[in-house]
Structure 1
Amino acid sequence: MSESQVNPDDLSVEQIEDNPWGEPPPGSTRLVESVHRLRRRPVRDLEPEDLRVLISQQVGLDPLVPRVLTQLEVDPLLEGDFYPGDVLVAVLKVPAAYWSAHPDQRTRLERVIASVDEPDLKADIETFHAANPM
C-alpha cells in the first residue's frame, strides 16, 4: 500500500499529528504514562476508556473527536471505566474553541445530546451549553 493509501485508523495520534512525544518524563504519574502510551496506539485499537482519557486530557482532539462522535451517535451513553455516558461527558468538556472551529462536529454533538435522556448527565449538558452558546 502506498503512503497515499494508508488507512488513518492504522495510524496513531502521534503519527497523525506528526508530533512524537517520546517517553514520559521520569517520575510521571500513571495518567501521564497512559497518555503517552495511548498516543502511540493505532486509532482503531483505542477502546472507549482510551478515548475518554485522551479527550479528557485534550490530546488528539482533531483525529479523535470525529471518531468518538460516530460512536456516540450509535450509543450516546458509551461507557469507559466509570459510568454510562462518561465518554460523552469527556467530549462535553472539550474547549469551546474546538467547537467554534468545527461547527459540523458541534451539530453532530447537539444531535447526540438531544437523544440523551439521562438525568445524571443533565448538569454536564447544561454546563456545555453555558460555555458554548449557539
Structure 2
Amino acid sequence: MIGQNIGLRYLIPLALDKLDENILADGDLYDGDLLQVVLKSDKEYWKAERENWKRMCGIFNRDISLLESHYNARSIKEEWFSTFADFKKIN
C-alpha cells in the first residue's frame, strides 16, 4: 500500500520501525524492497512529516556500510543510493 501512497500517515511509521530494526527488511520481492518503496513514496507526505523524514535519513545514513556490502545486485544498490539522493532533497 505504501507503493500506492495509500495510508502513508499510518503505514510509514510502521515501516520506519521495521527499517530501524533491519534496513534490508523485505516486502514481497527482495531484501531492501521496503526501503525502496518508502524512499519513493509521496514527497508531500515527507514534506508534511519532517520528523519522519529526518528519521528515515538517519536510518539510511547509519546503515550505509551495510547497504554497500549487501549481496544484492549492483543495480538494486545503485537504485537505493540514487533514490536516497532524491529523497534527501525533499526537505
TM-score (norm 1): 0.54
Decide whether aligned partners of structure 1 residues 66 and 85 sit closer, same or farther in structure 2, where only a CA change above 3 A counts.
Answer: same
Contact 2:24-2:34 at 8 Å conserved across structures: yes
SS at match of 1:130: helix
Structure 2 residue runs of 5 or longer lacking an equivalent are 69-75
Max Rg structure: 1
Of 109-118 and 85-94, more deviation after overlay is shown by: 109-118
| Aligned position for 1:68 | 15
Q: How many residues align?
A: 81
Give me the CA root mean square deviation.
1.7
Decide whether aligned partners of structure 1 residues 131 and 113 sit closer, same or farther in structure 2, where only a CA change above 3 A counts.
Answer: closer
Note if 1:130 corresponds to 2:79: no
Matching residue's letter, 1:57? Q
- Identity across the alignment (%): 30
| Aligned position for 1:92 | 39
Structure 1 runs of 4+ aligned residues shifted over 3 Å read: none
Note if 1:118 corresponds to 2:74: no
The structure with more helix, counted as a fraction of residues: 2
Structure 1 residue runs of 5 or longer lacking an equivalent are 1-53
| Aligned position for 1:34 | none
Decide whether aligned partners of structure 1 residues 125 and 93 sit closer, same or farther in structure 2, where only a CA change above 3 A counts.
Answer: same
